Amino acid sequence: MLVIRRFEERAARSYTQALIGGYCHLNLGEEAAVVGLVTALEDRDYLFTNYREHGYALERGISPERVMAELYGRVDGVSKGWGGSMHLFDLDHRLVGGYGIVGGQLPLATGAGLAISYRASDEVVMCTMGDGTTNIGAFHESLNLAALWHLPVVYVIINNQLGMGTTVERSSAEPELARRAASYRMASARVDGLDPLATYAAARNAVAAARAGEPFLLEVVSERLRGHSVVDPAKYRSAAEVQALSDHDPVRLVGARLMLEGLLDADALAVLDEEAKAIAEHAAAFAEASPHPDPATLFDYNYATPVANDLRRLPGEALFAARARPTEVV
């Protein structure tokens, strides 16, 4: 949790330094949820996420250097520098995206579940989403098919209680989002996402159900310590709300719990924190030293296998190359 916290804080700083371009959405405040969920997966299982996915990549085992390099758009990044913050992808670790379109990952995760079922293997797909995603059509279509076909998919709603700047109560007639599974006779649960152990226990139960052929909807109630993205000042929050967020900071809560139970003392926690900061700083230095990708490689990963007539025209290039005029014969 500390590594994710310090990594995300370092990423925010890099963004303000114009070292990271495009969009950048952070897991600050969701560290307990991330760790609890991913720990419940086995290495062979697949993970689909939305665009708030840096922490998931780190917890899945991808090195902080490669994740930060991707944020910087550098060639040593997990997507060769072409994906950026929202499109982390590493098939070796079975992290199958980061998706920028809200809910875009749900049909794909459902399809992956269908492929697993078709092969009669026993991997599980976990698909995370934000609370706002539950109001789009792909959410209902995906859950309906998964329930009909008994697909091994765990759908996880990370309910940080704000769809961008709108509260769940103002956007959902049923704000307890796990209840939506009842429409598809799908098992569901709601868990405290500030507690990594509670999240882990709930996720293990959901994963076991999916591995047995029954999809599951898990709602993880968490917090978002910052705005929707790095550039969002979150002015829709009152001073009292900001103070409440600080009081519910999961990293602080878990640290206090560890000290209360005598597992760590303040000095040991400080050492862990310094180690996490060093990891984040090293990742930033690695990313800044990594070269930018060659524009000639822009289309190298459009398709998994060669496709006839694949367009390779770079921006600004003519649609058709000018034909050389035949040499005149005297």
Please write the tens of the pLDDT for every residue from 240-282: 988 888 899 999 999 999 999 999 999 999 999 999 999 999 9
Give the pLDDT of residue 33. 98
Instruction: Look at residues 170, 23, 152 and name the one whose alpha carbon lies nearest to residue 83.
Output: 23
Residue 24: strand, helix, or coil: coil
Domain count within the chain: 1
Please write the tens of the pLDDT for every residue from 192-237: 999 999 999 999 999 999 999 999 999 999 999 988 999 888 888 8
102, 50 contact by CB (below 8 A) = yes
| Residue 315 resides in a domain | no
| Residue 306 resides in a domain | no
Per-residue pLDDT for 313 more than 90? no
Please write the tens of the pLDDT for every residue from 105-160: 999 999 999 999 999 999 999 999 999 999 999 999 999 999 999 999 999 999 99
Please write the tens of the pLDDT for every residue from 235-245: 888 889 888 88
Distance, in Å, from the CA atom of 55 to the CA atom of 52, rounded to the nearest integer, reads 8
- Is beta strand 216-221 parallel, antiparallel or unpaired with respect to 153-159? parallel
| Residue 317 resides in a domain | no
| Residue 52 resides in a domain | yes
Each as own residue / partner, the long-range contacts of residues 322-327 (CB below 8 Å, 24 or more positions apart, any chain) are none
Per-residue pLDDT for 289 more than 60? yes
Tracing tokens 């924190």 back to the chain, one arrives at: 273
Global pTM value: 0.91
283, 64 contact by CB (below 8 A) = yes
Kindly report the CATH number assigned to the domain that includes residue 156. Answer: 3.40.50.970
Distance, in Å, from the CA atom of 139 to the CA atom of 159, rounded to the nearest integer, reads 15
Q: Tell me whether residue 130 is exposed, middle or buried, using C-beta atoms within 10 angstroms of its C-beta: 0 to 12, 13 to 18, 19 or more.
A: buried
In which domain, by residue range, is 280 found? Answer: 2-297
